[in-house]
Chain A
Amino acid sequence: MTRLLLKRPTLVAAAAVVAAALVIATPWFVAEGDMRLMIEIFAVFAFAQGWNFLAGYVGIMSFGQQLFIGLGAYCLFLASNWTGLNPFLILPLAFVFSAGFAAMISPFIFRLRDAYLAISIWVIAEIVRSFISQRDWLGSVSGLPLVATREMARSVVATSTFYYAGALALISVFGLYYLSISRLGLALAAVRDNEETASAIGINVWWTRFFGFVLGSGFTGLAGAVYYMSVFHVEPGGAFDPNWMVIMLFIVIIGGVGTIEGPIIGTAIYFLFRAWFAGTGNLYLMMLGAAAVLVMLISPSGIWGIVKSKLGIDLLGARRASGLEASSKKTRTAS
């Protein structure tokens, strides 16, 4: 058992290489239409994983992550349209801008806790949405097109976007894994579980939370930019839509908060649900909500939580819920 544990980071690295190879090979085997769906799946998975990182690893619950989806998309669209630069090259700007915005608001919103913190981010999202809706130079209600991609070949645009989306998905799984076994990941887990103890062992609680929030929100912004790059058009009503939050919550809750594997299952279930019930409109949103309520009543740790406790499988065992597990992980990273 110990030997298996010692080997796990190596196994995960091997899995990461295989997954990356699969992503790289995909455009040769998959039709453009299917690739578009895969971009959407990857982007939504990245949104969900970004929220999961905040809620399950940093311990910050937010009901306003659509704020960063919109900010990332608008940042990319505006920067590309104004300067005429290739959007694929300036994509990191979306991360920098969203992360910077998160850094700017955190001193104020961190004064609130739990649901109040969650809703204050939502309030900020509403402010930004109404601000953009009323400004003509930001495209007002009807939004903005992405000009630069019009002149590019369609297959190049599709393949490049697909690679970015694939990279997001890979980071959401393997990046999160390596982050969670790093020093920062341990500090985040300590702060999430018990702030007093964390600060007693020398962790700066405020800065750790700040860093986690900025990182997670920047990532969501990046994913938002990639998502809207694949649809070529962004408008405030869609980009800052609270329904993004509903989807993220559903995926993470159903799969299991604070696990890496859970949101993978959640994303699969979400897209199956959508394919089956897309025609039913509100009924399908109702089912997402009802499923979230049921999971909270039956098993708050989600489907992956049930699998883990019933079958004892722990693929990317990055969750440090109990003290025992945490100490075994710590020796592992030290060795």
Chain B
Amino acid sequence: MTAVLTLVLLPFASLFWGSVLALRDGGAVVWEWVRVLFLASMFLGLLITLPEHAPMALSIALGLIVVMQIAGFFAWRLFGAGVPVDDQ
């Protein structure tokens, strides 16, 4: 159950974390607040209704998203970018 919930929560966790950062970045602030608050209330609802599985699933989903964001940043810089150049 926890694993399934984690998989379901992954896109929402990504959206939530992205919206938090967007709020900090200073985009369309009102809209980002709406998104953050909506997702936060959804997570809270889950924590209340599924207290056995939701805390772990939510932590893993959010943690994975943040870790993958860091990994993606460095993977892009270190391995993703760099087109070979033909010398001929």
- Are A and B part of the same complex? no
**Which B residues form the contact surface with A (CB < 8 A)?**
none
